[in-house]
Amino acid sequence: MGILSKKIDRQIAAYQRELIETHYQEVENMYRQIRGWRHDYRNHIQMMKVLAENGDLDGIKAYLDELDTDLNTVDTVVKTGNAMADAILNSKISLARSRNITTQVDAHIPVKLSMSELDLCVILGNLFDNAIEASLALPEDQRMIRVYLDMKGTQLYLSFTNRTAGKKLPKVGKIFKTTKGADHGFGLVRIDNIIERLDGYLSRNSEDGAFTTELLIPQV
- For the stretch 157-172, pLDDT in tens is 999 999 987 665 555 4
pLDDT band of 183, cuts 50, 70, 90:
very low
* pTM score, whole prediction: 0.65
d(CA 37, CA 50): 20
Residue 198: CB atoms within 10 Å: 19
Query: With 0-12 CB in 10 A as exposed, 13-18 as middle and 19+ as buried, what is 4?
Result: exposed
Residue 74: which H helix or E strand, with range? helix 57-74
The mean of the pLDDT values for the chain is 79
Name the CATH superfamily for 83-218: Histidine kinase-like ATPase, C-terminal domain (3.30.565.10)
Give the residue extent of every domain in the chain.
Answer: 2-74, 83-218
- For the stretch 131-156, pLDDT in tens is 999 999 999 999 999 999 999 999 99
Query: Edge-to-edge strands of the sheet including 201-207?
Result: 102-107, 144-152, 155-163, 210-218, 201-207
The residue among 184 and 159 whose pLDDT is bigger is: 159
- Average pLDDT of the residues in 165-183: 50
d(CA 8, CA 168): 29
- Average pLDDT of the residues in 210-215: 94
